[in-house]
Amino acid sequence: RFVLIDQSITGEGGHYLSYARAVLDSAAEEGFLPVLCVNQRFCTANGLPYRIYPAFTYTSLEALSSFRLSRSSEDGDRLRYLWGGVIKPAIQRVARTVFGANYGKVRAHLFPQNSVSQKETKEQSYKTACFAKDLCSLLSLLRLNKEDIVFFPTISVVELRGLKQTLQRMGENNLPTFRLLFRWSLFRGRRQDYSNELPALGYIQDNFRACEVLYTKGILRFYTDSDRLSEQYNLFSQCMFSVLPIPHTQYPTINIRHEKKVISYLGDARIEKGFIHLPEIVDALSSEDVQFQIQANYNIPGGEGGIAICRKRLQQKKNVMLYESALDAGEYTSALSRTDIML
């Protein structure tokens, strides 16, 4: 059996289900029996040719960002927008000018990454325990063996801890191979700044080092989806990360030409992807004959800090077409075919 576990699949929106289908269909062609394990909220109007198990309480982003799940007040949202979109970038520009080549050394002190409150720590522990419980129940139901492959196409360190706890309970006899794909960057700065940020990421290093025995025995295998990301993760332990290609099943499409140039932002509305800068980008190009199409669905309930107020500002722009819900594969392909410039 080839068991794909993606706790972030709740429906057809986004890339999660499209990715899973491409992988499972290929697994079936190779002679595996495909099995899909998803979030408990999973709902789709289309029948899928796999055995499906709705097993998980939280998505990966909910587990990783549990302390940001409650919907923020508009005032709080505005403050986060001002900090992330205005104040912090201004401080960074001044610091780069003042410290020059030494900026990387002082960055960790200006913006510490390990200032996590006790409440957040307790909530992360709860999410880990919840994931471990869901996974343990699922594996007991599936009764897998060493001939099977379990693939996580989206997983975080929070869930890695839960997986390790589950495997410790089960013992190591007759276990399948668990193949784990990590998608998120660990560092904020450029490559030359990595060494300065490492001390603040000790909890990540501890979790990967705790998996070294299972890695050596071939029970765990680790991947990312790019060379640069694998380079980051390989700094933390003896567990080596390889690169998995993104499954691409779409034929090339002909770009649809328009009178106006179309500038697109596609994907979840996330701070790390620069969403909070979009209102300023639209304003800066207000004198140009361009049209924007922007996907603005939240990746967590209420959105990350500053995202909701940015979306309100974009709603007021005449030359902006907003998609406020996740796009399925067909809608995403159509939006991409209309694009002249991708942000």
pLDDT at position 44:
73
- Give CA–CA dist 12/14, Å, rounded: 7
**Looking at the predicted structure, is the pLDDT value of residue 21 above 50?**
yes
What pLDDT is attached to residue 195? Answer: 81
For residues 244 and 225, the answer to whether their CB atoms sit within 8 Å is yes
Which of 215, 216, 117 has its CA nearest to residue 160?
215
- Give the residue, 303 or 140, on which the prediction is more confident: 140
pTM of the predicted structure, to 2 decimals: 0.71
CA distance 277 to 187: 20
The helix/strand/coil state of 245 is coil
SS3 assignment, position 112: coil
The rounded percent of the chain whose pLDDT value lies above 90 is 45
Indicate the helix (H) or strand (E) that contains 291.
strand 290-295
pLDDT confidence bin for 291, thresholds 50/70/90: very high
Our CA angle for 75, 308, 337, nearest 5°, is 165
Residue 267 has pLDDT above 50, yes or no: yes
Average of per-residue pLDDT values in the chain: 83
pLDDT reading at 136 higher than 90: yes
pLDDT digits (tens, 9 = 90+) for 60-116: 878 876 434 333 444 444 454 455 555 666 676 677 777 776 666 666 666 655 444
